[in-house]
Amino acid sequence: MTNFNWNATAFFKDLTNKNKLAINGEFVFCRVSGLEGFEEALEKMQTKKAFVCVSDISQGYTELNNTPHTRRVKTIFLAMRHALNDFDARDRYMDTMRELFRQFMSVLILEQTRLKEHCIFIDPRISFQEIDRFFFSGCACAYFQIAVDTYTDLQFNTKEWNK
């Protein structure tokens, strides 16, 4: 059996470009490397007001059992800029990001069914975290994480080793 992977970056880029709420909210997609990369994306994109950022790094592990698999956890950040200390705007933007998350999940549930055909399993529990207002001044931020399990062929293959 071949090892399959799921490209979360391409998936969420496509969702951002097709979703009406994301388009109307002027969300732009960007790829980041953890929180430090997210901060750099905000600095570089001063002219943009809303972001969907997928981290190109992930945490995970390989489980050695009767059905060996590798788990990768991908993080997707959402952010909307607002005037500093405009807490009403922050509240509105948090509502927008909660709704965008819900809409993204409505597509992810369909994607989950498709991925099962390739022995890729999305953990059904997807956490959504709102980030404290002091994380980035003038920016409402949240993130969610998706754990993806993929079949991992751990058959010992003599061709991969020197004698």
**What is the DSSP pairing of strand 127-131 with strand 120-122?**
unpaired
For the stretch 3-24, pLDDT in tens is 467 889 999 999 999 999 999 9
Helical residues (DSSP H) of the chain, grouped into ranges: 8-18, 20-24, 34-44, 87-116
Whether residue 44 has pLDDT greater than 70 = no
Neighbours of 15 (CB within 10 A): 20
Share of the chain above pLDDT 90, in %: 47
pLDDT band at 43 (very low <50, low <70, confident <90, very high): low
SS3 of the chain: helix, strand, coil, percent, to 5 = 35, 30, 30
Distance of CA 132 to the CA centre of its chain: 19
Whether residue 142 has pLDDT greater than 70 = yes
Whether residue 101 has pLDDT greater than 60 = yes
Structure tokens at 126: 């997807």
Which CB contacts under 8 angstroms, 24+ apart, belong to 86-89?
A: 86/138, 87/133, 89/140
Query: Which residue in this structure is represented by tokens 């050695």?
Result: 64
Q: Which of 27-36, 40-49, 62-71 has the lowest mean pLDDT?
A: 40-49
Please give the pLDDT value at position 96: 97
Distance of CA 107 to the CA centre of its chain: 13
Please say whether the beta carbons of 130 and 144 come within 8 A.
no
Share of the chain above pLDDT 70, in %: 88
Residues 6+ apart with CB under 8 A from 43: none
